[in-house]
Amino acid sequence: MSELNKIALKILSNGKGILAADESTGTMTKRLEAIKVPSSSENRLLFRETLFSSASMKTCIGGVILYDETIKQTASSNKTIPELISSSGAIPGIKVDTGVKVLAGSPQEKITEGLDGLRERLKEYYKHGARFTKWRGVYNISNRYPSKLSINSNAHALARYSALVQECEMVPIVEPEVLMDGNHTAQDCFNKTSEVIKKCFEELLLHNVDLTGIILKPNMILQGNKSENKISSEEVAKLTLKCLKENVPSNVPGIAFLSGGQTEIQATENLNLINRNNNTNFIMTYSYGRALQQSALKFWSKNIKDIQGTQKVFNHRANMCTLAAQGKWSSELETK
């Protein structure tokens, strides 16, 4: 078992999942302004530190994805943020892409940037304590998109990124996100996601990436958020499992789903059904941002000094997600 494989399994095993706390300063500012909290670096740190020092970090969270600002901050206990995360047994990670830009040659689509200077940035993040990384490719979906250009360009970028990350002895999260926006059917999502994931693995193999030392972070198979053709959670689970079984090589250790616009409850219920029906060898868990933090953020906004109350809300959500990652969740547990 390689060192990278050990890290990946430590993050994903025993129902643990990933807390995606890598919102950029711009995104975090929008979230805080929406709840009438000033977006100062102190307030951004206070909210994140509240989550990172909660009890469920020990029992539910295997890894935390950080943003550049946060990985360099120090908690009120005088521990650095990576030290605080490590002290709970979770592994600190870092988002390393520099965001999405318009794809030249197909202006309706996006390409993720950040390969320039990445090798040097990775060395710095490693010194700060990061042991895994994240890079997100995004794909529009419609009858014309994603185009071959978008599928190929983003797969190439994800593979180059992954090779550099493994060279620096960290585990890359490979995140190809087929967006929920649109009126497409779940079958459309299945077809396009299959194409996207297949191409990603072709490129990863071409770049000699060790597949036992990566984590795949895909979308679930869902209908578009404007679609009339709603499908059940059972159908979501069935299509998602079929897509991954057909397109992900069996030596990948695990899959951590993004929540991608689902509500907290939807993301939990769908993950639970995926695990109840999981007939693969893959660990299937969560890498949620909003679907782990939304309720806690709302509660915290009423009184940002109520640390314990906020942690209680976060602990509940994390516990629900971890039960779902083991196929043990039920809607009755939500109200207990």
The residues with which 175 forms a beta bridge, in sequence order, are 136
Provide the residue type at 301 as one letter.
Answer: S
CA angle in degrees (0–180, nearest 5) for 19-273-283: 55
Helices 307-324 + 264-276 axis angle, to 10: 30
Phi-psi region of 288 (alpha: psi -120 to 50; beta: other; left: phi over 0): beta
- DSSP secondary structure string, 251-315? T--EEEE--TT--HHHHHHHHHHHHHT--SSSEEEEEESHHHHHHHHHHHHH-TT-HHHHHHHHH
Alpha carbon 68 to its chain's center: 16
Cα–Cα distance between 181 and 223 in angstroms, integer? 9
Choose, from 16, 134, 199, 217, the residue flagged as catalytic: 217
Please, are residues 209 and 163 in contact by the beta-carbon 8 Å criterion? yes
Cα–Cα distance between 54 and 48 in angstroms, integer? 10
Active site residue 101: no
Residue where the block lists tokens 């951590």: 256
Cα–Cα distance between 301 and 306 in angstroms, integer? 9
Residues forming the active site = 217
